[in-house]
Structure 1
Amino acid sequence: MIPNSKPLRRVPLGKTGKRLSFERRLFLWMTALALPAVVLGGWLMEVSGASAFAMVSAAVVFALVWMLVSSSFVELITRPMQTLANVVAALREDDFSFRARGARRGDALGDLALEINALAGTLQSQRSSALEALTLVERVMSSMQSPVLAFDAQSRLRLHNVAADRAFGLTRPSSDGRSAEELGLGVLLDVRDEGQYSGAKSNDAARYVVRRATFRLRGAPHVLLVLSDVGAALREEERLAWRRLIRVLGHEINNSLTPIKSIAGSLRGRLPESVEAAPNLNRDLQRGLAIIEDRAASLNRFLQAYQQLSSLPAPRLEWVSLRLVMERVALLEQRIAVRIETGPEVELRVDSDQIQQAFINLLQNAVDAALEAAEQEGGAAEVAVMWEVDANQATVRITDNGLGLLNPVNLFVPFYTTKPKGTGIGLALAQQILIVHKGSVSLTNRGDGRGCVAEVRIPLVG
């Protein structure tokens, strides 16, 4: 019974607990109505002096005629009722194509048939509206970028959209009906309304605000969870802040660097070529001006790199082979031989130039770490590339045997670098490219030995 609903009321069809079928009772009543006529006819024949044979023959003929008339009368009454029963049975089975024909107002069966036809039309209209609403809900959910999940009272997953599949690594239909604990979502169910949750499988850095609601499906209570990715918004705000900062720094420093470089070059060109008159002064001026010009050019290149980070163009999406992209990137690295462990064939809808640049930066970072470790401790520098594919995304892993990560917190912060000649742009640019492609990148220390692993996730649907 559905809570808060009125109890069902059953109206009895008769007073007796054990009764014959409607057709048999109707036939017995017709027979009972014939008995007075039989008795009256027999008495009249006896009074008129008819023979016993005539009386028996008349009784048999009368009985046969009466049975034929009774059967016709019973069928005349029961056939419309059977038709209406078939229509009601079809309605119970959600088949709204049946209708009772020949009904008209003014008699009991006609009124009943018309009312059942009207009920069938109403139910059909309601069902069509419900199906259209359900289709609309499914399309809205599939187009939503926010993960949506629904669990029943036993914490079993009953509803999830494509965004939830990507975020939590769910697959259809194997994930349907499984418990939250089996899917690794037990913590998610414990989050209060408007609380924060992190730890999605597709992006370890993702942070979500969870909105909770309850609804009933077939009378059973369900919990609806809608997750909003605040991590993406925070990263976008951070990127815009860095972009504004870089624009201001670039404008101010360039205004100073350009005249400094120009004046240094002009002064060096005006110095006398002969150093006999003032050898030390000429040499010192030449050296000083050369240093000023070189550092101005280096700082200008540094700013140009950061301006590239702040003005990343919109991607031009096309279908490209992941294997071909990784082979091209590996061939560009000439310092060591990068080992490629070929994965399954898959095509991604990405900007080929941008995604190659992201992998170039990650691979260069891995090779730098491996060469540094080999120079300090000896041994061979090793870097390997591998990838795998599931129902929602492609995962690429770049592993090295370097010294590992000492400060993973600031890896993707612009301006931050641990390399003497680094600009701090490589990892930040790779992250920005993958965010634009709705993917993610993470760097962690290897659990199976010394070194680091860079893991890139790119959704299969662009």
Structure 2
Amino acid sequence: MPRFEARVLYGGLLIAAPALLALVGVLTFGLPGARWIVPSALAVLALTAWVARWQYRRVIHPMYTLSSLIEALRQGDYSLRGTRGSVLGDMTDDVNRLAERLQRERLEFEESSYLLSKTLAALDSAVFVFDESRCLRLVNPAGQQLLNAEKHRLFGASAAELGLAALLDAPPIQTITRAFPGRTGRFEVRHAPLRSGGRGGRLLVVNDVGRVLREEERQAWQRLLRVLGHEVNNSLAPIQSMADTLATLAARDPLPDDWREDFRTGLDVIGKRAGALARFLAGYSSLARLPSPNMRDVDLAQLAKKAAHLQQRCPVQVEDGEALRVQADPDQIEQALINLLRNAVEAAPAEGGLVRVRWRREDARALIEVIDNGPGPPRSDNLFVPFFTTKPGGSGIGLALVRQIAEAHEGGVSLVARKDARGALARIWLPVG
């Protein structure tokens, strides 16, 4: 800036040079017309001084202002703004817009950083970020708990010092059983490359899958015990009540005339409830002891027709489909189809009941569908939960067994309401090949 100011002053001197030379000539040599030249020279000098001052206020001052704005941007202060009204007004507007953009981007960056920090703090997974030299640059609270150390002790330490170098050298995705300083269990470990500021880095995520599995197992046992307790109590309560009644009756002396009939009725109730409880526990045993599928080449059309012919209450319409073969356990898949068809037949009305079964290929999977015109499935998320049933006298085993069979074949099952008409649509899918 001083160099530019010197150039402006140098230009003013060039303008005033002729007047200065004329004035020196008059004073030195006494040139004619001196009385007119001196006032003119003085006027030129005054004009030159005014122009120089005007140039300073019009050019030099705005340049200083612009320089201050740029210096503020360089220092990271985006709050200053310049005003228009000078020869550099357009440039000042550009600098103001740049400052507004940088201020907006800084705000967005700070908000994103705050959101990222809150997200990392809320994660149950341990997150570690290493730079190109494998020194720790970022860790979340779960990572601190996993290593049982404060953040200031971990920051800057190498992966080898933290005992994490082997995880970074292992495959990108793995499941291991390991003892960390803060926790021991089964972990899923993932790592991936990162780049920041043109430099490489590494992201390491350690997730305690053992704790998740234990929590799921605990909830499953709680659901199972609730159902078992409910069913067992439903059978034991009438058995106990009837046994107490018969004991009271047997203690009477003399026995009433109809004691034989009362005993026969009571024992019949006890036998029926005991049989129901035995069937319930047998269904549970079949669900818990399902063997691994014995894979063979299976013709789905033949299997579907065989399962459909076993239903006698309501005829099952088998729609012709393409020839489709899968690798599956025919006995288990047939049992799954029988369960789905039995549910459909029981849901179909006694008069005008219609149940259909069809199959087709959909991408890389074989899809089998069972359609009925009954009232549709109940609105519940527990349809495939073991021992959950909405049917009087139902065991709650059928759909749970179907899902277990389908998942053992790396497939799946669903039960939804039909969209084209009244009724339910059950699907079971299996991988092809």
Instruction: Identify the TM-score tier after normalising by the shorter chain.
Output: 0.3 to 0.5
TM-score by length of 1: 0.44
Higher RCO (CA 8 Å, separation ≥ 6 residues):
1
TM-score by length of 2: 0.47
